[in-house]
Amino acid sequence: MSIRLPSADGGFRPYRPGTRPLAPLECGPARSRVFYSAAHVVADPLAASAEAGPAVDWEATLAFRHRLWAQGLGVAEAMDTAQRGMGLDWPTAAELIRRSAAEARSVGGRIVCGVGTDQLAAGVVHSLAAVTAAYEEQLAHAEEYGAAPVLMASRALAASARDPEDYLEVYGTLLRQSARPAVLHWLGPMFDPELVGYWGHEDLDRATEVFLKIIAECPEKVDGIKVSLLDAEREVGIRRQLPAAVRCYTGDDYHYPELIAGDGELASDALLGIFDPIAPIAARAARALDLGDRVGFRELLDPTVALSRHLFAPPTRYYKTGVVLLAWLAGYQDHFTMVGGLHSARSLPHLATAYELADGLGLFPDPDLSEGRMRQLLAVHGVAS
């Protein structure tokens, strides 16, 4: 039986859902690469009021992280995928870090946590001292609960920095006091328009020189840099310039298979939002790579790129909507609601295509459930399926 899906051209197309979902998989962490999945949060749609801040369904949110750990993936917590700066405020992110770090310890799961400056008021140019203090507060919180930090790109720093020296000062201060090596994060403006000119330059070559200088001054305090520019050639160039002990974590949701596979000399590790919905395939691909099966790795991961490019299509920052939709369709949460109302950020045809692509990859454990939920979503919008 087929389902009638809306198309971007205003028409409809029939689609026959798949019947062969991927079998459940549990495995240990990858050995040949480090794989982190940035993870989404599950909203609590029954919260009486949002006045106290974003309402999170903690049980469902943490259960999803346990699912990632069971498949051998690490969790990148309180990052962009968790709606940092797009619905999730710092008090809620701080609680998320506390809870997730405790759960990671309970199962020996790998975790890193986003450290930023989002407790500072938006729309205000803050002093460099205030930006540094905000970072320090979040860094201390992550360290208190034993989580390695990801120093996230800061809107406040981008607004207040006068030149590259300000970036050198802020990041140098943070790295010198960090208790463990940190991951630096270069989030391109396609993910957040307020980050244009990060590192003090709009010219990407000159910007690269700045963060390489930051790393060179404290190489022992830098675990790696996550590059989220959606530019494979540039990422390859960056990883060639990194010190041998510093990892390049791809954040490129368009070109990740080739970047993780590597060029025979160097390869990227991964910290990706797309790993949230494609975790069962990412885990299998990691296992193939551990066995030295580069062909099998690409055969598993390459077919997921169409889904990823669709979810991360411009405006790229709204990719979280598709990620949460797929979690609902897969049965990992009971509703399609997001903090801040972000579930309304994508069109119905966009969501329908996400369903079709994910179903074709076998990502829904119960195809009948996912089909029924997709029909439910269509009906809410007045579309007969």
pLDDT, one tens digit per residue, over 182-228 is: 999 999 999 999 999 999 999 999 999 999 999 999 999 999 999 99
Cβ neighbours around 286 below 10 Å, total: 28
State residue 323's pLDDT score.
Answer: 98
- What is the pLDDT confidence band of residue 146, given thresholds at 50, 70 and 90? very high
Please, is 120 exposed, middle or buried when counting C-beta atoms within 10 Å of its C-beta (0-12, 13-18, 19+)?
buried
**310 in helix, strand or coil?**
helix
CA–CA dist 93, 110 (Å, integer): 18
Q: List pLDDT tens digits, range 62-77.
A: 999 999 999 999 999 9
Residue 37 has pLDDT above 70, yes or no: yes
Query: Any idea what DSSP says for residue 134?
Result: H
Mean per-residue pLDDT for 139-160? 97
Residue 49 has pLDDT above 70, yes or no: no
State residue 385's pLDDT score.
Answer: 77
Find out whether 187 and 80 touch, Cβ atoms under 8 Å.
yes
Pick from 171, 255, 187: which is nearest to 219 by CA? 171
CA–CA dist 294, 347 (Å, integer): 37
Backbone angles phi, psi at 149, to 5 degrees: -90, 150
Residue 287 has pLDDT above 80, yes or no: yes
Residue 131 has pLDDT above 80, yes or no: yes
Mean pLDDT of the chain: 96
State residue 48's pLDDT score.
Answer: 53
State residue 19's pLDDT score.
Answer: 83
Q: Nearest 5°: CA angle at 58, between 52 and 59?
A: 150
Mean per-residue pLDDT for 270-279? 98
Q: Which residue is it, tokens 């790579």?
A: 289
Q: List pLDDT tens digits, range 310-346.
A: 999 999 999 999 999 999 999 999 999 999 999 999 9
92: its two tokens: 């809620």
Find out whether 232 and 259 touch, Cβ atoms under 8 Å.
yes
- What is the pLDDT confidence band of residue 53, given thresholds at 50, 70 and 90? low
Which has the higher per-residue pLDDT, 302 or 1? 302
Q: Could you give the percent of the chain with pLDDT greater than 90?
A: 94
Residue 52 has pLDDT above 70, yes or no: no
Q: Could you give the percent of the chain with pLDDT greater than 70?
A: 98
- What is the pLDDT confidence band of residue 110, given thresholds at 50, 70 and 90? very high
